[in-house]
Structure 1
Amino acid sequence: MIDLIKKTLLTGVGLAVMTKDKVEELGRDLVSQAKLSESEGREFVDNLVKQSDTARNEFETRINAVVKKTIEGLNLVHKDEIAGLQARVDDLAAELKRHQDSTTSHN
């Protein structure tokens, strides 16, 4: 029974989005219901917390990949590209001003 509950939790998104405190609380409840010894219970809760951390990291990685792919699909300009273009515009504006100043001083 406890293995079924554990597998159900670990395969779902639920465990990934639970806080550590909630995972520990759930683990203690399951330990109590399964009437495990103190060492078995501690091992179960520790394992559940580790599994939760792993699930959370995998979930975040997947979400980040989907978001990145979606943003790339939108074909948006990256802020580094905008900064580069701004620098080029500033350089050209300075060059134009120097050219205008040299033209004005020759007249």
Structure 2
Amino acid sequence: MSMIRIKMWGTDLDTLNHFTNSILKIIEQLGIEKRGPVTLPTKIIRIPSMRTLGKRGTKIYETYQMKIYRRFIDVANDERFFKSYFINMQIPSRGFRISLKILK
């Protein structure tokens, strides 16, 4: 049976965990085969910027960073899950992305 990989990533860890737990709850209610959730390494994006010139012309830098948290779940390709729940699911709009991929 083919599997579908649900890959999620976002900047807010609480939102990502809440969304992952809601998917897992529905999968357990329907009794669908699953693998995961698998936690991928956190991606950290760092942006250095020059704040000001200090005394005697020395450069002072500040570093801003953004963390991107990632998870994926492999779910058996079952129509009940996608028709009943996944189409009507409310996905958080800000700082959250989701993708689906069919695995053979």
The TM-score normalised by the length of structure 1 is 0.33
Structure that is richer in strand per residue: 2
Structure that is richer in helix per residue: 1
Bigger Rg over Cα: 1
The TM-score normalised by the length of structure 2 is 0.34
